[in-house]
Structure formats: structure tokens, C-alpha cells
Amino acid sequence: MKANDAVLIDSFLDALWLEQGASPHTLSAYRHDLTAWQRQLASRRQTLLKAQPRIFVYWLEARNEAGYQLRSNARLLSSLRRFYRWALANGLTECNPLEGIRLPKVRAALPNTLDEDEVERLLDAPDTSTALGLRDRAMLEVLYACGLRVSELIGLTLDAINLRQGVVRVLGKGNKERLVPLGEEAILWLERYLGSARGELMSDVTRPALFPGRGGGFMTRQTFWHRIRHYAVLAGIDKPLSPHTLRHAFATHLLNHGANLRVVQLLLGHSDLSTTQIYTHVAQARLEALHAEHHPRG
């Protein structure tokens, strides 16, 4: 990679981190896309700020032939456009070479979710006669009651929970804080867990992790994901799950029971309402299925 292009990419990523608090995962994705684009340009003796649109078009054609999905290409184009918007705003270029390129619209994929009976079976799966089982039951209850991201859940500290007020303080994307109601069931299981199991799992209860992993530190995403898949098997759930399955169920079930989309947005910590709107499709699909099953003219 030419030195100037490398510096440009680093400067752009630094700006994303400093100005918007972008996560390491997000920064890594942008670096991957920009580096791949720079290599395409370098093979034709061009640089990031002197790119010709036709090169991107040729690259898209090659990616399509290689089997890349429309969604992947759309994300790539979005990343590169954001870089060029930054370059324009900082006077590094006079135009966005990709401004006129359009891709077919990508329809938002409906997330995998669970119905309410399946959620109940999953929540009931841990053996709460053990300290580990009680910890896991409390984790699952909080995850479903609050619609948290897995990273938010495993990052919870003891002082983030206020059982008297019935809320949890969540540190979300971009280090943005939000308060989310816990609900009666989550509070009940947290009280049981904090009353006995947490002390059994930690040699030093002053350590901050609310739900400790091995050694009393914060649990890893991989450990939690292993646990939830284990309980899905015990509950007889054979649907494909994702780390966000209970988050999706939280949003879908709220909407199915009449919650306002804006409220769901706030609870999920989405900065843009359009991100939350995918769940209206999930709820609508459920309503259509119920109509077809139960209406005499369905």
C-alpha cells in the first residue's frame, strides 16, 4: 500500500474513533473494506483520492461472479462512500468518485427470533439449584427483559443494577448510556442470584463483573454463546440462533403486544429509528400468519 493511502486510512479511522466512538469491530470492518479497495486501485496504478468510478464497477462485477451477496456489496459501497464524505469534508478531494453508483435495494433480512413459548422454555432450561445455573438464569432473564446486546450484558457491572428502582444502566455503542427497566421476573432472579450464587462463583465479591466468568472476571462472548446454545438444546429448540436471538425476541414481542416503535427504539439503544423498523416486518409477518390461521377467510 502506498504510504499516502495508508496514512489516509489511518486518519479516517482515527476520526471515526475520536468523533463517533466507533468500536474496534467497526473500525476493523472499515479498514478491511478500504484496504481491499486500495489494492484494487493500486493494481491499476491509481490511489484512493484519484479513483475512477469504472474501477469500482469492474470490481463489483468480479465480486458478483465470485459469489458475493448484494448485501455484502452494499455494505462495501457504504463504507467507501463514508470515507469519501470524510475526505470531502476535510478538503482532501473535490468529489466523491462513487457518488453516482447505485446498487439494487437490499431488503432488510428478518432476524431469527423465538416465539414466547420458546423463550419460556429457554429461560427455564438452566438448573437453578446450582450457582452456575442461577447465574445463567439471571443472565437470560436480564437479556430478554431488557433487549440487551450480548456485549452489553457481559459488560454489566454490579453498580449498573438498581433493584430498588428496577432499572439497569447500560453502556451501549459509542459509549452512550441508557436506562432500561428490568421487569419483575428479572428483578426476582437477580435478587436470588445476588443473594447466594454470585458469592459462590467469586473469591472476591468486590470485583465489578455482575455475571462473572472463569476466575471472577468478565465473561467472554464465546462463553455466553456456548451457554445459550447449550440451553437451547436442553429446551428442544432447533431453530438457528444468533447472539442477538433474545434481543430480537424482546423487540418483536413488545411490538406484538402493542408497544410503540419509538419506545422500542429507545429501549434497544438504536440511534436511528430506521434500524428499529425491521421489527415491524417481523411483527407484521406474525400478524399475517395468525390471520391466515384463524380468520375464516384467511
CB atoms inside a 10 Å sphere around CB 152: 22
Please say whether the dihedral angle defined by the alpha carbons of residues 4, 7, 13 and 18, taken in this order, is positive or negative: negative
CA distances from 290 to 36, 284, 287, 298 (A): 46, 10, 5, 9
Catalytic annotation, pick one of 173, 192, 221, 286: 173
Please say whether the dihedral angle defined by the alpha carbons of residues 111, 116, 119 and 123, taken in this order, is positive or negative: positive
Amino acid 293 reads E
Catalytic annotation, pick one of 30, 144, 193, 279: 279
CB–CB of 231/126 below 8 Å? yes
Catalytic annotation, pick one of 227, 244, 248, 253: 244
Catalytic annotation present for 247? yes
Amino acid 216 reads G
Catalytic annotation present for 149? yes
Catalytic annotation present for 270? yes
CA dist 63 and 181 (Å) reads: 45
Catalytic annotation, pick one of 81, 169, 270, 281: 270
Long-range contacts of 125-132 (CB under 8 A, 24+ apart): 125/231, 125/232, 125/234, 125/235, 126/231, 128/192, 131/196, 131/197, 131/200, 131/201, 132/197, 132/201
Amino acid 205 reads V
Amino acid 140 reads L
CB–CB of 103/77 below 8 Å? yes
Catalytic annotation, pick one of 137, 247, 248, 253: 247
**Residue length of the chain:** 298
Catalytic annotation, pick one of 135, 137, 149, 248: 149
Q: Which residues are catalytic?
A: 149, 173, 244, 247, 270, 279
